């Protein structure tokens, strides 16, 4: 018997992906290349972006119907992302990383067979954003023949981080860091050059003629040859010379410039801009327990701000999937607590609130008893 050949899945069409190598540059391409180079040059900045991506946490969807909620959660956990990713957390991680680094992020819900087949993170280097009236955004894909407008705007996900008034372009978290980072890299480069010069010691060999017969040039060549053999030997080897010879190291008396204070000043500016506590970036600066707790609270507020930017993106994906499935589009997003300390603090707050209400009810009851006695 011959089995009927099974048809493969429908081909997924990604409208935000360019058809070839673009020959144009979108607005702000130079600035984005600067931020990309900044992450490659300064490890602490790259580490901070990845930590913010991991610290954003997980979430659960909430729907009035439990069965619909379970189906929606299964879709979010198993949806295909880009070429080799799975799950909406993978999509949101890349989306947030683009948002922090460049100030904007663009994604797409890829339709397949009347359903959402995948989620796609579009690279900003291949896109161009343009205002569509006062409240709309058009997305264009740069291609060799020019630019192509993405028609299905309802499938696109576009976000901007802290945009200026009247602007559709967001503000990168790294804005303001190129100058500070250039000073920091200059200090590191100077340190490396000085250590290379002082660690790999050069010697000055001086031979004073003593009036002995023989050519001075020939004697100098012989001495240079013996000195080179002695210094290049892997085993200890003596250098023997005849005459008045003096050997001095070049540069050992020079002292390196103090770098701890200027490096810390530059790092403080970078850490202040990134919004992460220093200890999360491996900087063991002196801090008290109370100060660390306050820094953790500040970090929580920073992550909550990023969650507020990502929540509309997740809701749009969920509501689009529910609509295409013919289900009610009512749903909500419940983010997990960022840290265990947050859960402890919230539990303590609920405990003290309940205790205060209990005391208030006891006082009210005592007041009523006094009033009835009088």
Binned at pLDDT 50, 70 and 90, residue 72 comes out as: very high
Mean pLDDT, rounded, for 53-63: 89
Mean pLDDT, rounded, for 95-101: 92
pLDDT at position 74, please?
Answer: 93
What does the alpha-carbon distance between residue 239 and residue 219 come to, in Å, rounded to a whole number? 14
Write the pLDDT tens digit of every residue in 133-165.
777 888 888 887 778 888 888 888 999 888 888
What does the alpha-carbon distance between residue 33 and residue 20 come to, in Å, rounded to a whole number? 20
What does the alpha-carbon distance between residue 310 and residue 330 come to, in Å, rounded to a whole number? 18
Q: What is the pTM of this model?
A: 0.71
In this structure, the strands spanning 244-250 and 146-149 are unpaired
pLDDT at position 4, please?
Answer: 40
Count of residues making up the chain: 374
pLDDT at position 119, please?
Answer: 93
Binned at pLDDT 50, 70 and 90, residue 129 comes out as: confident
> How open is the CA angle 341-281-171, to the nearest 5 degrees?
95
Tokens of 279: 């200890």
Write the pLDDT tens digit of every residue in 175-231.
888 888 888 888 778 777 777 766 666 777 777 766 655 566 677 777 777 777 777
Mean pLDDT, rounded, for 318-337: 90
DSSP state of 18: -
pLDDT at position 373, please?
Answer: 64
pLDDT at position 135, please?
Answer: 79
State the DSSP string of 34-50: HHHHHHHH-HHHHHHHH
Please, what sign has the CA dihedral across residues 287, 293, 298, 304? positive
Tokens of 144: 């060799």
Q: What is the mean pLDDT of the chain?
A: 79
CB atoms within 10 A of CB 360: 10
What totals of helices (H) and strands (E) does the chain contain, helices first? Answer: 9, 12
What does the alpha-carbon distance between residue 180 and residue 182 come to, in Å, rounded to a whole number? 5
Residue identified by tokens 């920091």 is 184
Mean pLDDT, rounded, for 361-373: 78
> Which of 323, 346, 333 minimizes the C-alpha distance to 109?
323
pLDDT at position 109, please?
Answer: 92
pLDDT at position 23, please?
Answer: 44
What does the alpha-carbon distance between residue 92 and residue 292 come to, in Å, rounded to a whole number? 28
């Amino acid at each position: 018997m011959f089995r009927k050949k099974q048809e493969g899945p429908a081909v997924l069409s990604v409208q935000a992906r360019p058809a070839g190598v673009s020959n144009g540059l979108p607005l702000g391409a130079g600035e984005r290349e600067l931020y990309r180079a900044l992450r490659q040059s300064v490890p602490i900045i790259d580490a901070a972006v990845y930590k913010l991506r991991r610290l954003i946490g997980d979430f659960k969807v909430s729907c009035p119907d439990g069965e619909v909620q379970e189906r929606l959660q299964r879709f979010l956990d198993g949806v295909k992302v880009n070429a080799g990713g799975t799950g909406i957390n993978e999509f949101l991680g890349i989306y947030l990383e683009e948002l922090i680094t460049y100030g904007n992020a663009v994604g797409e819900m890829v339709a397949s067979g009347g359903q959402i087949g995948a989620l796609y993170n579009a690279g900003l280097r291949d896109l161009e954003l343009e205002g569509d009236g006062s409240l709309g955004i058009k997305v264009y894909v740069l291609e060799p023949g020019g630019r192509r407008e993405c028609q299905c705007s309802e499938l696109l996900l576009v976000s901007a981080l802290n945009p200026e008034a009247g602007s559709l372009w967001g503000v990168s978290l790294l804005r303001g860091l190129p100058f500070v980072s250039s000073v920091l890299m200059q200090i590191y480069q100077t340190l490396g050059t000085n250590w290379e010069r002082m660690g790999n010691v050069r010697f000055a060999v001086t031979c004073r003629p003593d009036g002995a017969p023989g050519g001075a040039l020939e004697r100098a060549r012989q001495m240079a040859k013996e000195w080179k053999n002695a210094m290049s030997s892997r085993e200890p080897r003596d250098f023997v010379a005849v005459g008045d010879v003096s050997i001095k190291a070049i540069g050992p008396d020079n002292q390196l410039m103090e770098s701890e204070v200027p490096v810390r000043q530059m790092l403080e500016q970078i850490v202040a801009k990134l919004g992460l506590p220093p200890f999360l970036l491996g900087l063991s600066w002196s801090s008290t327990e109370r100060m660390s707790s306050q820094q953790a609270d500040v970090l929580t507020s920073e992550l909550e701000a990023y969650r507020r930017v990502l929540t509309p993106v997740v809701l749009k994906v969920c509501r689009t999937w529910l609509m295409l499935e013919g289900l009610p589009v009512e749903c909500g997003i419940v983010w997990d607590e960022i840290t265990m300390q947050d859960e402890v603090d919230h539990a303590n707050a609920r405990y003290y609130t309940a205790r205060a209400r209990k005391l208030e009810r006891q006082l009210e009851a005592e007041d009523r008893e006094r009033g009835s006695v009088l």
